[in-house]
Amino acid sequence: MILGKEFFYRDCLDVAPELVGKILVRRFDNGEEIRVRITETEAYRGVEDKACHASKGRTPRTEILYGESGIIYVYLCYGIHWLMNVITGEKEQPQGVLFRAGEGYNGPAKLTKALQIDKSFKYKALYDNSEIWVEDDGLRPEIRTDKRVGIDYAGEEWVNKPWRFIMVR
């Protein structure tokens, strides 16, 4: 079953753990498909979340976070790495979920590299789309939560939020 728009139209703290264990499918121009089990996600929740890009205000860059749920937000990190997020929640509420790892791909940039995701995917939909989508194969994995990483600048209060979701098995 392919996840539809309504799946993403909820709070990121609901969406992020449910995305863990789902299958991310990428179809290339030549018809080839790559299927990757999502093993790790992180939630970024609104202007109050200092780790969320939108916390610094609405800018051309963060505009997308305020928009439609299920839209892909691709972000270039450290000049080298593309990180993939999906927008969740109500409109005007800037929140999203970062795809942090997939089976066989530990690390958000490795995932996007394997799937050949770059800035051209920004503003594309993660549902009802012939290039990339998420499928539910019925697996309900055991999930554990942990603190988010790589956001030391956000301050202890936000670093310590258990908003990272990891598949145990």
For DNA, the binding residues (CB under 7 A) are 42, 44, 51-53, 56-57, 59-62, 73, 75-81, 83, 85, 96, 98, 106-110, 149-151, 153-154
For DNA, which is the closer residue by CB, 16 or 143?
16
Least separation in angstroms between CB 61 and DNA: 3
Nearest approach, Cβ of 138 to DNA (angstroms)?
27
Q: Least distance to DNA from the beta carbon of 131, Å?
A: 20
Least distance in Å: CB of 20 to DNA?
Answer: 15
Residues 6 or more apart in contact with residue 32 via CB below 8 angstroms:
none
d(CA 99, CA 91): 21
CA angle, residues 13, 105, 156, in degrees to nearest 5: 40
> CB-wise, 117 or 154, nearer to DNA?
154
**101: helix, strand or coil:** strand
CA dihedral angle for residue 145, residue 45, residue 93, residue 153, rounded to 10 degrees: -160
Report the nearest approach of DNA to the CB of residue 54 (Å).
7
Residue type, 154: A
For DNA, the closer of residues 91 and 139 by Cβ is 91
E strands, the chain, are 23-27, 33-45, 72-77, 81-87, 95-102, 105-106, 132-135, 143-146, 164-167
In terms of CB distance, is 63 or 142 closer to DNA? 63
* Selection from 149, 146, 135 nearest residue 25 by Cα: 135
Please say which residue, 142 or 152, places its beta carbon nearer to DNA: 152
